[in-house]
Amino acid sequence: KRDQGRAGLREALRDAGRPLERVSPPGAGLRCGVSTAHQGLLGLRTSASEARTALRRSPLPLATYDLAGLDRMLEEWYSSDAARHAVRELLQPVLDLGGERSAHLLAILRAYLDHNGSPARAAEELHLHRNAVSRNVRRIETLLQADLDDPRQRLALQLACRAASSR
């Protein structure tokens, strides 16, 4: 029986990742969602729902359910009209680019912020060159008139990116 907490989830993630890496040909796009463990038939449905949620919210091949509850808190926050308006207002210059371009830039910004401002780690996650990430981050800063060295602006943008991607 696995630990039900974070350690068990990390162990399950490692266990799920090994066969996925072995059987997935490059570019195949195979993905796996890992949830927390739940008991019984209802628990199985809950686990499946969590795994689907993890896949929907993460671009990574191996996605975990948000055990800390941040995504649930963000969903609650983002359900208010005021929060949705604030997110749109903050991201509007990028959203105005429309379609794939705005989605691409928001994915870059989210990965960059999620990796503590590391272009190399964001590039690895997104399968881009780190110079492309750096160039796009500078463009995003200009579009949003943001200072990503300011922790308050970084936090606001990170929350906005997460909320926007959970729609």
- pLDDT tens-digit readout, 108-154: 999 999 999 999 999 998 999 999 999 999 999 999 999 999 999 99
Please determine, for residue 3, whether its predicted confidence score (pLDDT) is greater than 60.
no
Please determine, for residue 71, whether its predicted confidence score (pLDDT) is greater than 70.
no
Q: Is 6 helix (H, G, I), strand (E, B) or coil?
A: helix
In this prediction, residues 52-58 reach a mean pLDDT of 80
Q: Percent of the chain having pLDDT more than 70?
A: 86
| Mean pLDDT across the chain | 84
Please determine, for residue 28, whether its predicted confidence score (pLDDT) is greater than 90.
no
Cα(61)–Cα(135) distance, rounded to whole angstroms?
A: 25
Cα(135)–Cα(127) distance, rounded to whole angstroms?
A: 15
In this prediction, residues 13-30 reach a mean pLDDT of 73
Work out the pLDDT band at 7, boundaries 50, 70, 90.
Answer: low
In this prediction, residues 14-23 reach a mean pLDDT of 74
The top-scoring range by mean pLDDT among 15-19, 62-66, 97-101, 139-143 is 139-143
**Whole-number CA gyration radius for the chain:** 17
DSSP assignment of 23-72 equals H--TT----EEE-----HHHHHHHHHHHHHHHHHH--SSEEE--TT-HHH
Predicted local confidence at residue 131, as pLDDT: 97
What are the extents of the domains in the chain? 6-68, 73-165
